[in-house]
Amino acid sequence: MLKKLLQIILTLSILNSYSQKMENTYFTWDDFVNNFGKEMVSAEDVYRNMRKNKLTDFAYTKIDFHFLSDKKEKLEKLNEYLKSNYGYSFEEYTTWEDSFELRGKTDLFPITKENLMYWALDMAKRGYEFDCKFDAYGAEVDKEPILPEFIDSKEDYYFNKAIDLYNSNSLSGAIANWTIVLEINPKEPNSYYSRAIVKNELYTWKSAITDYDKAIELAPDFISAITNRGTIKDENGDYEGALEDYKKALELEPNDAMTYFNIGNTKYNQEKKTEACSNWKKAKELGADYAQERIEKYCE
């Protein structure tokens, strides 16, 4: 198959990534975290109502959305980002109580229960990045829907479309198109692997691990999937599980510098500094120059 593969290997940071979020004044990181579960529930409710109105799964639909912020300038920057990276259209700015409101509309999006949830999480994430709150959304159900072409000859088309969307930062669009690929060919490991990367970017690490599990089940020698799964396990406190994955990776590629680097990070997180330094130095010997920063900071 002629696919443009998504080549992303996750690397571990000693510092918790959540601690490095920007300081918002309107919609804070705590607000984002506290609203995260609510967005999932809300998406399920919206999807359920659409199904009651005879929604066909994967029907291409345009979704109306609203964002709020305390300054119009923040919404304007968000609007430009959504237009440039997602291809969404602007409707209007209004005022609502003490806030400014942005109203816009997506391009055609294939709605399923999971796709809609990831779209909502994606919008919440983008809103947070511009200090705006993702506030509301909805869509009319088309009685004569347009659907993806679930045929073998379109598998590469949807895979490559997902890559293009990911490269333009449309995370939910990428997930939706890899999901279409998996409807066509459920034994396609690259789609599980790629979708896992994006799910993790949207903070749904358990679902990401499930996709990595499936990719590895279908392709046991998929070293990138094994390494990435180990990284996510480490980030969420499963250090032994991470080391098991790194061990599998080294069995496949004994001189992989990135794996030794990640082992060093996991050992450090286990407070095993001597073993951490040994693995970072091994990574450096194998060509991972980026390990030098860790060695200088923690080992000498």
Domain harbouring 93, CATH code:
3.30.70.970
Domain closes at, from 138, 155, 180: 138
24 shares a domain with 116: yes
Domain closes at, from 138, 156, 178: 138
Average pLDDT of the residues in 117-131: 98
Q: Residue 18 has what pLDDT?
A: 39
Model pLDDT for residues 126-177, shown as the tens digit of each residue = 999 999 999 999 999 998 999 999 999 999 999 999 999 999 999 999 999 9
Tokens 């358990």 -> residue: 206
Parallel, antiparallel, or unpaired for β 99-105 and 64-69? Answer: antiparallel
126 is a domain residue: yes
Q: Which has the closest alpha carbon to 203: 93, 72, 49, 40?
A: 40
Model pLDDT for residues 19-53, shown as the tens digit of each residue = 345 689 999 999 999 999 999 999 999 999 999 99
238 is a domain residue: yes
106 is a domain residue: yes
Q: Which has the closest alpha carbon to 299: 273, 265, 263?
A: 273
Classify 75 as helix, strand or coil: helix
pLDDT above 90 for 190? yes
**Spatial separation of the C-alpha atoms in residues 79 and 214, rounded to whole Å:** 36
Q: Residue 22 has what pLDDT?
A: 63
Average pLDDT of the residues in 10-21: 44
Q: Residue 17 has what pLDDT?
A: 40
Domain closes at, from 138, 156, 191: 138
Angle between helices 273-285 and 257-269 (to 10 degrees): 170
Q: Which has the closest alpha carbon to 48: 135, 118, 112?
A: 112
181 is a domain residue: no
And the tokens for 20?
A: 């490095």
165 is a domain residue: no
Residue type at 115? N
212 is a domain residue: no
CB atoms within 10 A of CB 35: 17
- pTM assigned to the model: 0.92
27 shares a domain with 129: yes
227 is a domain residue: yes
CB atoms within 10 A of CB 122: 23
Model pLDDT for residues 235-265, shown as the tens digit of each residue = 999 999 999 999 999 999 999 999 999 999 9
The DSSP code for 82 is: I
> Total structural domains in the chain?
2
Rg (CA), the chain: 21
Cα torsion 282, 285, 286, 291: sign: positive
What range defines the domain where residue 253 resides?
Answer: 220-298
The full length of the chain comes to 300
**Spatial separation of the C-alpha atoms in residues 160 and 205, rounded to whole Å:** 24
Write the CATH number for 273: 1.25.40.10
174 is a domain residue: no
Classify 91 as helix, strand or coil: strand
**Spatial separation of the C-alpha atoms in residues 230 and 118, rounded to whole Å:** 23
pLDDT above 60 for 58? yes
230 shares a domain with 121: no
